[in-house]
Amino acid sequence: MPPEYSKNTRMYDSIRVRTTSLKGLVCFIHGQALALMRKGMEEGSQRDINKAQNLIFQLELAVNRNEDASRVLANLYAYCYYLLENRDPQSIIAARRIIETLAGTFYQLAKQKKY
């Protein structure tokens, strides 16, 4: 991949983050975490797994823990973080499945007008 493509991609992502809604940002972060986990698995890149882990940690920190459902969500993110710490393929796959499910849920919620 040419360096200018990577630079342009980063710039586009940066602009997209600054101009998106909160629900769009949540979907974007889940998608980025999934992409990094996939890339990390395919290329054996610990750096990408670490980046995915950082995004998941940020999602966990952003959860308002005042409700039971929110605490469960925070625990799911913490569990995914823990799975990625193991660094073995089965754990990474398990974390991906959880994040894929959450990403799909948030995407469906983002499509609804009342949310």
Query: For the residues 83-95, what does the mean pLDDT come to?
Result: 95
Share of the chain above pLDDT 90, in %: 59
pLDDT given at position 5: 45
Q: Encode pLDDT of 26-70 as tens digits.
A: 889 999 999 999 999 999 999 999 999 999 999 999 888 888 888
List C-alpha distances in Å: 23 to 82, 100, 101, 113: 25, 16, 16, 11
Residue 9 has pLDDT above 90, yes or no: no
